[in-house]
A and B are shown apart, each in its own frame.
Chain A
Amino acid sequence: MASSPCPAGAGASPAVSITGADLRFGATCHFEGLDLVVEAGRTTCLLGPSGVGKSSLLRALAGLAPAGLSGRIAADDGRPLAGRVALMDRRDCLVPWASVLDNVMLGARLRGDAAEPERAAALLGRLGLHEALALRPAALSGGMRQRVALARTLYEARPVILMDEPFSALDAVTRYRLQGETAREIAGRTVLLVTHDPGEALRLGDRVLVLAGRPARLTEVAVPAGPLPRDPGAADVAAAESRLLAALAAEAA
């Protein structure tokens, strides 16, 4: 199935980076002098143990200025990132009072832009939610709600997508299916996907970075070339997974 085209108005997806990042809480220094580059038009997966600071890096790129984190944020085309980023969190956070369709169009309403219900409906249809348009979130399962959150993210039509463990709250089967659908939809955009699941990183990442250690350091793990999503059963993927796990273990030591 054709991937969703990157909207021309936002420009081609730029590469984004945070350089010289420090994360300190009181006397503890989680990391310092970190440089993270999210390559243009490709999906970068950031892997690491809980609490290492992956979410802080992602939120900094989203413009949310998390506590304790400092660093320089830039896009490679020199323009500010505000308004060019879409955020997807592990909690769907749909508004309970609006229908699925209205939830998808929330961003437009908040910005005062014209709502485009047909585009929203088409997005939802591609994700298999064409029968749920008028339902309220309370009537949906967790997997369906996260799909709606994905549709909302895509509706924003932003060149940069930041995803913070978007599937971690779902069961394995739903997670697997949603990973596949997501990979299809985000192709061509600049994506940073934070995850703690090595399998997920390998399925979805053009590039996989590991953030681990005390203080934390970023290391890249080589991944096989080829189209996404990768097949987890393939031999080179399995080999990459053991390399990934070794890297995680080594940093933890």
Chain B
Amino acid sequence: MKKTIALALAGLLAAAPALAADKLTVLLDWAVNPDHAALVAAESQGYFKAQGLDVELIAPSDPNDPPKLVAAGKADVAITYQPQLLLLVDQGLPLRRIATLVDTPLNSVAVLADGPVKTLADLKGRRIGYSVAGFEDALLGAMLAEAGLKTSDVELVNVNFSLAPALASGQVDAVIGAYRNFEIPEMALLGKPARIFAVEDHGVPAYDELIAVVAADKAADPRLPRFVAALEQGATYVLNHPEDAWAGFVKAYPDLNDDLDRQAYTLTVPRLAASPAALDPGRYTRLAAFLKQAGLIKTAGKPSDYALMP
């Protein structure tokens, strides 16, 4: 009898840490998609749980909200883009990067493969669609400058989130904001294969497409190192076991079990940050200088203005 009670008590004590797991809200940049592979793997493989974290992944209704909500203290972590972070910090939002999910640019200018645009110079006088407003014109400006054009030589149209349909239907001659791992397979599946011009190949400094940010005053939050540790385990798992990771991905999100997401997942795996916590200060310095020159930010700060330095 005593032994049973002792065993039961021991079991309760063992379960106690799990019962006391810390909650953490993560606002994604967009609906769940293969770019979030490391996060989803960390969740589905139990790495967050092992770190004593109860992580909630939330997709926003307005992609511009997550960083603002985190800066205002309404959520813990936001997923955003490195250029977006620099823009927001310049506007006074107290945000700091803590980890990287995708450490290459994904953004590109996309045109129809059999269309009239063969080089960037061919964009002269043409119509270019873009989605989430923010820094597209800076990226485009640099790419056009490399081709000897000015932004006034093209017509920019906000097509909101219909990048692929707009390009496929010919309503626009090119789109910027097309992710080379998503919109490109999407175009192929629509029967209108596209060709891309990667931003970092044409005058834009390389940057981290997808990063995790927190409020600046959270530097000492004990949950964050555990979050990043679990994220790294998730990334490692995806890199080492891509097929199993995909199975876990569609198990968690069955409605994403389609051709497009499968192809996108395969294209995303090589671009995941193998070491999410690793920080290249030079990237922040170069990108800040680039954005300042494009007139998008007023002051180019130091890397410590943008990231929690390890």
The reply to whether A and B meet directly (CB within 8 Å) is: no
Which residues does B use to contact A, with CB under 8 Å? none
Which residues does A use to contact B, with CB under 8 Å? none
